[in-house]
Amino acid sequence: MPEFINVADVSDVPDPGTLLVEVDEEMIALFHVKGSFYAIDDICTHDGGPLVDGELQGYTIICSRHGAKFDIRTGAALSMPAIRPTRSHDVKVEDGCVFVRLRETGSGPGIIPTSYSAPETTNSNTPLQPTKEKGAVVPPADSDKNTETESLTSQTLSEDLVRELLKQVKDPELFVNIVDLGLIYDVSFNPAPDNSKQLVSIDMTMTSPACPAGPQLIADTKRVVNTHEDVAEVEVRIVMEPPWTPDRMTDDARDQLGIF
Ligand code: FES
């Protein structure tokens, strides 16, 4: 098991305040709030932004890049675009020195020593991680789905229709469709050279450049648009400009994710 490492003196970090420290070659964000210390990875799980540069509000750190919020006591992701917790670590204070011990995973708060315990607080940050249960949309029965798809594919091909079709594609982590998430930037059409059908080009973004669901979302996008009989081919271009931000989501998506 890793050892506790002395990373700072209590007086090195104002209260409230933040300090970037290195523990076993890992960069750790150390927080001093209401007399207690907390430590989490200095990594925003949305896209790797440094948390120590963010704004500290109570027990919440707000990533300076796209605004994801994390609970500094547990590492829990509190708001989009982060959906996974960052790792929290054990912290103790002895003789005016702050010690951090790295943990394997980010569940639960680090140790808060009785010799330097935090005062009671009314702060009640509630982790709002979009869990499968919270975000899940019960998929329609296959027969309903097929009827819905058949109804759509019998309509005249248009940008609005393509967007309706794409609502069948859901982000596998958030369980919200890619249209309501604001991932579809542009839909355009060109006549196919050999027949009367259309080549459909879709500009699509991801919630982060390293989104692991990217290949699946691209494949699903092509598949559902190809179900329309007037479509000859579907091209999906991944664009990262302008970058996706949570304000691109519709109210429906926010409701499903519990963001208000
Ligand atoms: S990198 Fe932190 S919110 Fe995007």
pLDDT > 90: what percent of the chain? Answer: 56
What residue spans define the domains of the chain? 5-111, 142-257
Tell me how far the alpha carbon of residue 207 lies from the centroid of ligand 1, in angstroms: 10
CATH number 3.30.300.130 given to 142-257: yes
| Residue-wise pLDDT tens digits, 34-55 | 999 999 999 998 888 899 999 9
CATH architecture, domain defined by 5-111? 3-layer Sandwich (2.102)
- List the alpha helices (DSSP H) in the chain: 132-135, 142-153, 159-166, 214-226, 251-257
**3-state secondary structure at position 106:** coil
pLDDT digits (tens, 9 = 90+) for 126-155: 333 333 333 333 344 455 556 666 677 778
Average pLDDT of the segment spanning 233-238: 95
List the beta bridge partners of residue 57: 60
Instruction: Considering only residues 165 and 117, tell me which one the structure prediction assigns the higher pLDDT.
Output: 165
On average, the pLDDT of the chain sits at 82
Asked whether 46 lines ligand 1 (CB < 6 A), one says yes
Q: Which residue has the tokens 């708060």?
A: 109
pTM as predicted: 0.53
Question: Is the Cβ atom of 98 under 6 angstroms away from ligand 1?
Answer: no
What integer pLDDT is reported at residue 105 of this predicted model? 60
Residue among 44, 80, 211, 248 to mutate when testing ligand 1 (max atoms within 8 A of CB): 44
Which has more confidence, 170 or 246? 170
CA 240 to ligand 1 centroid distance, Å: 14
Q: Identify the residue with better confidence: 255 or 73.
A: 73
Ligand 1 neighbour 44 (Cβ under 6 A): yes
Has residue 8 got a pLDDT over 50? yes
The CA distance from 106 to 85, in Å, is: 7
Q: Token pair of 255, please?
A: 């409701």
Q: How confident is the model at residue 162 (pLDDT cuts 50, 70, 90)?
A: very high
